[in-house]
Amino acid sequence: MKKELTRQQYLDLYYYMRLNRAVEDTMVKLFRQNKIVGGLYSSLGQEAISVGSAYALEKKDWLAPMIRNIGALLVKGVPPRDIFMQHMAKYDSPTKGKDGTSHFGDLDNLHIVSPISMLGDLIPVMTGVAMAGRYLGQKIVTMTWIGDGGSSTGVFHEGLNFAATQKAAFVLILENNLWAYSTPVRRQVPLENLADRAKAYGIDSYIVDGNDVVAMYSTAKEAVDRARAGEGPILIEAKTFRRLGHAQHDPAEYVPKEMRAHWEARDPIVLYEKYLTGEKILDAKSKKEVGDKIEALLAKEREFAENSPMPPSELAEEGVYCTGDDCHKIRAKWERPIAEVTPPKSSVAAVWTVPGFGAGKGSSGANAPIHFGDAPAAEEKPISERKATAKIATKAAAKKAVKAAAAGASRKARR
């Protein structure tokens, strides 16, 4: 781990990882008390990925979390009570009790796009958000996450290709946690490094130890800075391990015990505590202070969540469809003159050539707008002249064919 951050930044990363784990531990208790009505997914052992990557973003940037990215939500400013209430389907939750898992966002203030259950679909969505930010002059970067299994979906490849061709300011974190539900990576991807998939789209990639929060942050920060500078999308493969099953209902008995033991010894929080202690940034006293702060916060947040009422039955028919301003009042936030992207300033002369191909004569003798080879570009003739030239060439070819046929018949007769 390199010492590149300020003391406060080191401690921030530590705080958010501890908070991430404590929030999930609290939800496990709520789940076992039947107070959580939906699925519960754990990021145990993967906290460094969500925290480190999200910490690299600026406040104006956008992110779209997946089911194991609660740490990213916390870094972005989502209070634990919202996460608790969302999973408990309470009325005061971000979705007013209409969802029992992690499907919520905050478009207006925190710039969070709600998770999409169809894996990979967030990639084209966040590419679109990045393009919109560029159009509006906002200088933003967007980020989302995908698992190793999700990287085999069609939309992963379509979305990444789209982002690459548009040079979108987009960073994709690929969490290689070795298991796509119960399918090991080796059974579904014939690659040593999933980062190699970026090569197909001509974009850069990084490979990072997903259990090293400083390495995760430093890599993500470099990628974010490059994307913001206009270098296009970047893929980061974070190598880690999913220490619990796919969700609370999955005991993950298919995972070899030796594999689990190996990765439990690489707990990201324990590793980071050793590093901070060695660098004299954390001691027993400050460690206890962080723990006490989190415990007091979550006690208060949990109490608020449990006291929140369940939604009234009549709410079920509301908010099914967006009805305009009475539904939301989010508007585009222009940070550049609109005149720059509207006619006449935005008008571009129509051209028929494609950079790298050029223009020249085609096989018919007429001008071809796109050609291969080294032929120099020829002057474009009017369409009427081109048609006339083609017509004359056709008549000449026909006369030549008639003459050849007559000559052949004459030779045959003399024999």
Q: What angle do CA 298, 299, 305 make, to 5 degrees?
A: 80
CA neighbor of 69 nearest in space, from 130, 132, 146: 146
Residue 396, pLDDT > 90, answer no
| pLDDT(24) > 90 | yes
How far, in Å, CA of 177 to CA of 203, rounded? Answer: 23
CB atoms within 10 A of CB 74: 22
Rounded Cα distance, 259 and 256, in Å:
5
Q: From residue 179, how far is each of 20, 182, 373 by CA, in Å?
A: 21, 6, 49
**Identity (one letter) of the amino acid at 33?**
Q
Which tokens is 345 given?
Answer: 């300033």
pTM of the complete model: 0.81
Does pLDDT of 311 surpass 50?
Answer: yes
pLDDT at 361: 60
Task: Enumerate residues 6+ apart whose C-beta is below 8 A from 385.
Answer: none
User: Distance between CA 409 and CA 315 in Å, rounded?
Assistant: 91
CA 215 to centroid of chain Cα atoms = 19
pLDDT band at 251; cut points 50, 70, 90: confident
Cα 396 to chain centroid distance, Å, stands at 60
Using a pLDDT cut of 70, give the percent of the chain over it: 83
Report the alpha-carbon distance of residue 152 to residue 378 in Å, rounded.
46
